[in-house]
A = this chain, B = another copy of it.
Amino acid sequence: MGRPERPNAAARDGARRVSIAAVAAAAGVSPTTVSHALSGSRSVRAETRERVIRVAEELGYAPNRLASGLRLRRTGVIGLASDHIATTPFAGLIVQGAQEAARERGAVLMVVDSEGDHELEARQLRSLIDHRVDGILLARMFHQHVPRPDALGSTPVVLVDAVPESDWHVPSIAPEEHSIATVAIEHLVEHGHRRIGLAMTTDDSLAGRGREAGFHTALTEAGLGGTAPLVARGSSDAAGGRAAGRRLLDRAVSERPTAIFCFNDQMAMGVYQAAAALGLAVPADCSVVGVDDLGIVAAALDPGLTTVALPHREMGRWGMSTLLDLIDSGGQARDVEQVQLRCELVERASVAAPPDVRLRR
C-alpha cells in the first residue's frame, strides 16, 4: 500500500520525545489511567479511554504501545454507520460488498442507520464504540463531504461514497462523478448522436452537480459545445423522468434529441414512458442512458437499459478491506487515500444509431 505516512505532524516528528506523564497531564488523568486506557482495560470508562487515546495520538505518544493497545481491544466486530440504508434501494450493495470483505477475514459486520439524523448517528457511533468495535465504516448514500463526528474518538474509520472534509485525514472512496457523464456521452457520440438531451434532477447534490458539469464538459470535448444544450429537470424518480422526457421529446423531429442521458435509472424509466406515450420507440427513435445500474430497474426495463454502474458493492468491499488493513496496522493509517472510482458503462439495449445516421447508411 505505498510508503508509510501518518496524518498527524506531531506523530511524525515527536513520536519518541513524548512522555506518559505529558499525556496524563494533557488528558487530565493519572499516568496509571493512561496505561490502562492504552491497554484497553475495562477499568477505564469508555469516554476516558477514548479521550486518552485521542490525546496520546495528538501528542504522537508511543505509536507502538498504542498499536499494541488497540490490538488488545480487538473484538472481530466492525461497525457500518450509514445514513439511508432503509430508504435507498442500492444501499444494500454497500453493505453486501463490505460484508463479503469482512467474511473473507473473519470479521462480523454490524450496521446502524441514522436516516440522516446527526444526533442519532452520534448515539449510534458511541454505542458501537462502547461495544468495542474494531473499526467503523462511515457510509453515505449520496456522494458528499463529511465532517469528522466527535463521537468517533480514536476508532479507525474509512468513508464510503463520501469524501472527508479537508481537516479530516481518513481513507475514503467515492465515484468519480465527472467520469459518469463522460462515459455516457462518449458512448452516445460514438453511436453518431449529435443532439443529446439531459434529464436532470431538481435536487442539489455533489452527484447532481458533478453529472451536469460532466455532461457539458463531454459535449464540449466532442465538439458539440456550441449547440444549445437540451436540459429538462424533474424529481429524481420515474415521474420526474416522465415529465423531463416529455419536455425533451414532444417537439419537431429536427429539434428533438436523438438520445437522452438521465440522472439515474429511475428517471430513465420515466423517459421510456414519455417516449411510449408519444409513440416513439427506444432506441429506434431515441436512445437512453441511465446511471446506477439498479437491477430492479435497469435490467427490468424493456429494452434493457444501458447505464453507468455506480460501484456500490466495490466501494463497500474496498472500504472494508482498507479498514481491516488499518486495524491490522494498529490504527495508524499508512496511506490516507482519497480514492475516486471511474465508473463503467453496462451495455444493454437502449442505445442505437440515431434515425438520420441510420438513413444515411
| Chain A residues proximal to chain B, CB less than 8 Å | 42, 75-77, 85-89, 91-93, 95-96, 99, 103, 108-113, 115, 120, 123-124, 127-128, 130-131, 237-239, 242, 266, 269-270, 273, 276-277, 294, 296-297, 299-302
CB–CB B89/A91 < 8 A: no
With A86-B92, A86-B96 already in contact, the answer to whether A77 and B127 are too (CB < 8 A) is yes
CB–CB A103/B120 < 8 A: yes
Residues of B with C-beta under 8 A to A108: 112, 123-124, 127
**When chains A and B are docked, how far (Å) is the Cα of A266 from the Cα of B298?**
12
Residues of B with C-beta under 8 A to A85: 85, 92, 95, 111
Taken together, the copies of this chain in the complex come to 2
Closest 3 CB pairs of A and B: A238-B300, A86-B96, A86-B92
Residue in B113, B115, B273, B302 whose beta carbon sits within 8 Å of that of A302 in the complex: B273
**When chains A and B are docked, how far (Å) is the Cα of A196 from the Cα of B269?**
28
CB–CB B124/A302 < 8 A: no
CB–CB A77/B296 < 8 A: no
For residue A214, give the distance in angstroms from its CB to the closest CB of chain B.
Answer: 25
Residues of B with C-beta under 8 A to A124: 108
Q: Give the residue name and chain of the B residue nearest to A133 (CB).
A: B131
